[in-house]
Amino acid sequence: MLEREVAVQVKVAGEDTSVDFNRAVQSDQQVVNTIAITVQSGYPWYKTPELISFLELQTRYNKFKNLGIIALDGTVISSQDKPLNVKWVQYILGNTLEKEVFLSARQPDPEDGNAVLISAAVLHHKGKAVGALFAVLPLERYQTILQLPIGGEDGFAFVVNKEGEVEVSGRELPFENLFTTLRSASFQDPALLERFQEDVRAKKHAFLRYKIKNHRRFVYGSPLSMNGWYLISVLPTASVEKQARMLTWVSTGLFIFIFLIFLFLGGYLLRLRAYNNQQLFTTAFVDSLTGAHNLARMSQIFSEHLVQLPAQAALVLFDITKFKVINDLYGYERGNQVLQRVAGILREQLEPGEIFCRSAADNFVLLLGYEERSKLRIRLSKLTTQIRRDCTANDACLMIEAAFGVYEIKEDIPFFIMLDRAHLALENAKRESTEKIQFYDEEDRRRIVHERQLENSMEAALESGAFSVFFQPKCDLKTGKIRGAEALVRWNDLERGLVRPDEFIPLFERNGFILRLDMFILEQVVKKLVTWEKEGKEMVPISVNFSRLHLNDSQYIPQMARILDKYHLSPRMIKVELTESVILNNIVLAQNVVRGLHQKGFAVSMDDFGSGYSSLNVLKNLQFDEIKLDKEFLTGFEQNENAKRVIEGTIRLLKILGMEIVAEGVETQKQVDFLRDIGCDIAQGYFYSRPVPESDFEKWLQ
């Protein structure tokens, strides 16, 4: 049981550490990106006192070793104001120009030879790359993060690349390559090491138990979001057993010594043994910060308390969201005080038979009784309110928010499986913007597992060509001829078959992969249009959908323009589709994007008009070339005269504004006749054609 607990704790601690490391590196890159935006506005750069002072200020403020600008001709202006190795400069410039955003592997600082990382971003001027901004990051800034919260001095974490070479570590390591060191260890099954190495290279979560120099250790690995790196967490099982053996040895030694010398002190010895046993219990089963049970103790007494609850029972995983912000703003001491106060509130709120523990960091696990789900939800909401009210810093409310994952105990399964299900519910709660209390159901588990499988294969799918473009024709309602088409992405996976867009597009929206996928689809469409042009085939404008995430990307429009320039295609052949909901979320930002697209020669279409709360203010302030009526507009219009009037009035208004109108989801002859009679221009839907592959669409064009 003790060894199993250590395994669970190293997994939890490793995941927490990987999240913190990802966040720290991404934060540093965001700082570099922000500085780059400021610097590129001053192009061309000259070595002025003002520029040097700005770089020095940012270097001190952000605790960089060096911060500088590299122009395309190799000229360097940096806060250190010292000559840099030419090869080193070309290495940084070349990689940054190629990748837009660049994080180097560990390498020696050209100034003092100490190991550092380099974070860099491309500098632009009028849509063209004119140089790179680089920051030299000392590895010491990440060492605190890589100190495991468990295991004391024996537990540690470090970052390796896919070949096992150490990139960043939390302390001095006696080796440079993880795989080489592990080959000298012993395993119950030698194949486990090979499987572990394969999992690391495949960026999968990996777990390994090994023995080296008579010491058993657990190694847990989790993939990081940059450079194919991997976080390795190591914890010896002896970290708890050692203390137990030491206390037992002290107790036994004192007993023998006192028994031989002072026989009459036997009573005192018994009391001393009792004390040592209590210390051993505290070390193994009590959270040292809050005095609450730890996860090992809760797993022991869970069944005993479960039978004491009179009504239904639930296992609740409770997490303080954005707890790191409290540590950053007020310090770790204040953060520890918050955790202690939370534990105190939980003690006050528990009913007889209920228990809780602090599992790791800002996570608490609760066993609660309840009568019905609605009352349990109310109880957890009140708990959040009390924590927010009682936890303050400098007489100011910390604005603490909590997320709850709830597993309702309805079957006899092991405790850790229940905990895993509560964790799935907690992940779902963290994704929600408003409702932070989520209950587990089996569909959630299947969905999360499926999403993780999709995420693990999305990069390979893009590289292998598993994503393809289908086209759905847009036809003239008067003549029936093709006036254009909409490009739609399809994912044909070798193992799963066809993956529905509603399965992967929302996922890619959340993890940001949609930015790359959208540009991939645009490039495929552009290449196909150029091919048709060279073959002398008829060409029609193609509409391409773009995610809301692009609106916040300053490189969105320049990147589109670069793709069209690369293939020498006129922007008039591409129509950009933005959904109504994206536009309504930020009208000012949408105005700038639509204006920028028009300046580059692109036509802009508002998709799904009428699907939400359509605003005439949007039509007044944004000049669209095309409006696409959502398919729900046509639903049931045959039996609803008001619906007909609304559709006819909408089309008349849009005509007055000079916009071309496309009706989506057209499926029947009645819909076609009605839309044609009231002046709609174009229709798109199954009445004319489903989305079809390139080869079938080419036949349509001919």
pLDDT surpassing 50 at residue 504: yes
Do 585 and 516 belong to one domain?
yes
Task: Give the C-alpha separation, 60 to 383, whole Å.
Answer: 42
Task: State the total domains in the chain.
Answer: 4
pLDDT bracket for residue 249 (50, 70, 90): low
Query: Over the Cα atoms of the chain, what is R_g?
Result: 31
The string of pLDDT tens digits covering residues 390-432 is 765 444 455 678 899 999 998 888 888 888 889 888 888 887 7
Element spanning 200, H or E: helix 191-201
Give how far the C-alpha of residue 573 lies from the chain's centroid of Cα atoms, to the nearest Å. 35
pLDDT surpassing 70 at residue 239: no
Tokens of 686: 């199954």
Do 226 and 88 belong to one domain?
yes
AA letter at 500 = R
Domain holding 21: CATH number? 3.30.450.20
Task: Give the C-alpha separation, 370 to 526, whole Å.
Answer: 59
Residue 105 covered by a domain: yes
646 near 609, Cβ under 8 Å? no
Do 84 and 66 belong to one domain?
yes
Q: Coil, helix or strand for 267?
A: helix
Structure letter (DSSP) for residue 639:
G
Mean pLDDT of 20-38: 88
100 near 122, Cβ under 8 Å? yes
Question: Which residue from 234, 359, 250, 354 is spatially nearest to 294, judged by alpha carbons?
Answer: 359
Do 401 and 332 belong to one domain?
yes
Element spanning 216, H or E: strand 215-223
Domain of residue 685 covers: 465-701
Do 250 and 311 belong to one domain?
no
Do 164 and 310 belong to one domain?
no
Element spanning 100, H or E: none
Do 244 and 172 belong to one domain?
no
Do 377 and 520 belong to one domain?
no
Bridge-based pairing of strands 401-408 and 312-321 is: antiparallel
The average confidence (pLDDT) of the chain is 84
Bridge-based pairing of strands 682-684 and 355-360 is: unpaired
Q: Could you please report the per-residue DSSP string of 443-480?
A: HHHHHHHHHHHHHHHHHHHHHHT-EEEEEEEEEETTT-
Residue 459 covered by a domain: no
Overall pTM surpassing 0.85 (yes/no): no
Residue 329 covered by a domain: yes
Task: Give the C-alpha separation, 101 to 99, whole Å.
Answer: 5
Angle of helix 295-306 relative to helix 266-285, nearest 10 degrees, comes to: 90
As separate numbers, helices (DSSP H) first and strands (DSSP E) second, the chain gives 22, 27
Do 357 and 400 belong to one domain?
yes
Among the ranges 208-212, 438-442, 449-453, 664-668, which has the highest mean pLDDT value? Answer: 664-668
Cα-Cα-Cα-Cα dihedral sign, residues 84, 88, 92, 97: positive
Domain holding 644: CATH number? 3.20.20.450
pLDDT bracket for residue 468 (50, 70, 90): very high
Number of residues assigned to the chain: 702
| Residues facing 207 on adjacent strands | 220
Residue 134 covered by a domain: yes
Residue 339 covered by a domain: yes
| CA quadruple 632, 637, 640, 641: dihedral, nearest 10 | 120
The string of pLDDT tens digits covering residues 154-186 is 678 889 888 888 888 877 787 888 888 877 776
| Residues facing 315 on adjacent strands | 367, 407
Domain holding 301: CATH number? 3.30.70.270
Q: Comparing 353-362, 474-483, 507-516, 631-640, which segment has the lowest mean pLDDT?
A: 631-640
pLDDT surpassing 50 at residue 14: yes
Residue 448 covered by a domain: no
Residue 225 covered by a domain: yes
What pLDDT was estimated at residue 240? Answer: 42
The string of pLDDT tens digits covering residues 587-607 is 788 888 999 999 999 999 988
Q: Is the bond preceding 44 in cis, omega lying within 30 degrees of 0? A: yes
Q: Comparing 140-154, 168-182, 522-536, which segment has the lowest mean pLDDT?
A: 140-154
SS3 content of the chain, % helix, strand, coil (to 5): 50, 25, 25
What pLDDT was estimated at residue 146? Answer: 81
Do 334 and 383 belong to one domain?
yes
Mean pLDDT of 120-141: 91
Do 301 and 386 belong to one domain?
yes
Tokens of 370: 């309840």
Do 381 and 495 belong to one domain?
no
SS (H, E, C) 557-596: HHHHHHHHHHHCCCHHHEEEEEEHHHHHHCHHHHHHHHHH
Domain boundary among 236, 271, 306: 236
* Proportion of the chain above pLDDT 70, given as a percent: 88
Residue 158 covered by a domain: yes
What pLDDT was estimated at residue 672? Answer: 94
